[in-house]
Structure 1
């Protein structure tokens, strides 16, 4: 059976990746996707299938965290933010209730234990950002630093408030003013202006084991449920919630960045040392992607690892190489870079995976890349 039409080009030697992308597009339920790869500073792959094209913009869910982490690295490179300094230096109220020694690096690597406030908050407070940030600043440490606890939504609220305390503006303004406008990238936090992004659709087939695991680990009251819903404030499925106008116009750096495939790959390419217009120095990049925490995640229930906002290779984050960094999203989006191999990659599908922590499309693509440039 014919799948979605494939358009675009690959450089000589990259045919295995085109074949892998084509195989993905022939999988049942696939509506379209984009794949863009930059290798050693040159475009190696620029492919689109089905309803996806070069100008298609879509919400990238938690792959937003990688975009936000790049913004924070830029601020660090400019000397405006120090990863090793206590958050309370920039945000004094954060230091209450035993949090005065939590560093920026610990906050950004999901060690602050602030996955949701102890008191219920409303969806309006989550979307506004500031009320949720105030509530989180008033929290006590749920867990001591030293193990990751994935802050699915609140990571972005905390990062945004940190940026506001440092610059007086919001994280999305840093993205626009310091990264996207100078380099002509189509990425934003939400869509305050312009047409809505292309929707991402739920998986059509969810295996029984995945449904059972979700029922157990994401039932109301569990850490995963608290982190994903901010203790029940978000009561719709992710693919439904992100389509709401109030979500699209909100400032949620952990969840609602909007990007084209090409721009997301170019952003990661500009973090690599050989980039002609590198966003940050090699020293800053090493600090941003240095492993800050690893181990069994208190929220996800499996091993995860983080730098300063970037996900690092682990059981939770399959990035194809021990030297890669980036971030996937629940919708199937993936953005990453690998300094050792000179690789930057973005994959944006229009259909969600059945299991966000084990998207077979990522494995297929990353294995094909390894055939071309090595593991």
Structure 2
């Protein structure tokens, strides 16, 4: 069952969405696309509807990055400054020269505490931030260092940075400066308020090759395992852990953002339109900061100040796009050259989060309508 509206000329995207929804195990999904300031696709399938909120997993990083861009635009944050200017304790153990831009672009080498962490520290935030601030980077930092994806701790570090600047949690600042003024159904932290989000379910069937790759590259002790579990603190599968009330209520800007499809697309559209920050600010936020074979993901990746940029690790459908996907299949992006904002929220996780076939189908359909 496909519901919603499609503007003239965008039927290929509707057909692609129907193809996605006909796949095995698909429970529901929402797709919202804004082109040149107008909504051209607003589609829902299965159990999804216009008011359906769901967990975004790492697509939350794009939302948090907008919050940081707003603070930059207000003159409260300088991404070229050392992190230690705002958070003095962070400058210990060889980190005094790490800039905010390097921190936000996954270059700080703080993917997990070297001695591990507890679940309570992850959920509370500040205890984990304190531990990370007291450690040295896992890898040498050079002017153009290779990235190492901070799957969970990126949010911990960004949250503490915002707290040092404003006195508030990142999710609260996001709500005050972005979501409430723009009437966006987006939040980070406090996830049990109002109607609870719909759960995201693991894929029923995972190909043998993906299972084998996971067993090799995500085995205990590897950088991928360290980053994804915060050194063993997270012992449950992502879909289970992220369904727990205490997880949804925590401030985890890297993982537990909640949004509707239309709100997520509108956020990127507002950013491109200059309604949230100046054009100069958002272009600074999405400027390439590092690229290369990611020390955690094992694939070539590229990053701006929190935003994922087009690369083999982050397939965004266009060389000028920016945004962030999530392990649950969520995708939010903006594309300034094509004047496009897109959000896709499925309720079934992909078998391979770094190669979600649904994203390719939908983004190829968009390209067939407006070009590459």
Would the TM-score normalized by the shorter structure come out above 0.5?
Answer: yes
The TM-score with structure 2 as length reference comes to 0.98
In the TM superposition, residue 119 of structure 1 has moved relative to its aligned partner by 1.5
Tell me if 1:137 matches 2:133: yes
Partner of 2:48: 52
Partner of 2:262: 262
Contact 2:151–2:254, Cα closer than 8 Å, also in 1:
yes
Contact 1:337–1:345, Cα closer than 8 Å, also in 2:
yes
Match of 2:122 among 107, 119, 126: 126
Question: Secondary structure of 1:271's match?
Answer: helix
In the TM superposition, residue 320 of structure 1 has moved relative to its aligned partner by 0.3
* C-alpha distance in 1 between matches for 2:140 and 2:307: 21
* C-alpha distance in 2 between matches for 1:241 and 1:133: 20
Match of 1:311 among 286, 308, 312: 308
Matches within 5 A, 1:281-360: 281-360=278-357
Contact 2:192–2:245, Cα closer than 8 Å, also in 1:
no
Question: Secondary structure of 2:51's match?
Answer: coil
Specify every segment of 5 or more residues in structure 1 that has no aligned partner in the other structure, as ranges.
none
In the TM superposition, residue 132 of structure 1 has moved relative to its aligned partner by 0.2
* C-alpha distance in 2 between matches for 1:174 and 1:343: 26
In the TM superposition, residue 245 of structure 1 has moved relative to its aligned partner by 1.1
Question: Secondary structure of 1:270's match?
Answer: helix
* C-alpha distance in 2 between matches for 1:43 and 1:186: 17
Matches within 5 A, 1:197-236: 197-236=197-236
Deviation by residue 1:198-244 (Cα, 9 ceiling, x = unmatched): 00000011100000000000000000000000000000000000011
Change over 3 Å in CA distance of 1:107–1:357 after alignment to 2 = same
Runs (4+) off by over 4 Å: none
Deviation by residue 1:96-120 (Cα, 9 ceiling, x = unmatched): 0000000000000000000001112
* C-alpha distance in 2 between matches for 1:151 and 1:120: 14
In the TM superposition, residue 254 of structure 1 has moved relative to its aligned partner by 0.1
* C-alpha distance in 2 between matches for 1:57 and 1:107: 29
Question: How many corresponding residue pairs?
Answer: 368
Tell me if 1:25 matches 2:21: yes
Contact 1:296–1:302, Cα closer than 8 Å, also in 2:
yes
Tell me if 1:165 matches 2:164: yes
* C-alpha distance in 2 between matches for 1:196 and 1:34: 17
Question: Secondary structure of 1:142's match?
Answer: coil
Matches within 5 A, 1:230-245: 230-245=230-245
Specify every segment of 5 or more residues in structure 2 that has no aligned partner in the other structure, as ranges.
none
The TM-score with structure 1 as length reference comes to 0.97
Partner of 2:91: 95
Deviation by residue 1:103-140 (Cα, 9 ceiling, x = unmatched): 00000000000000111211001000000000000010
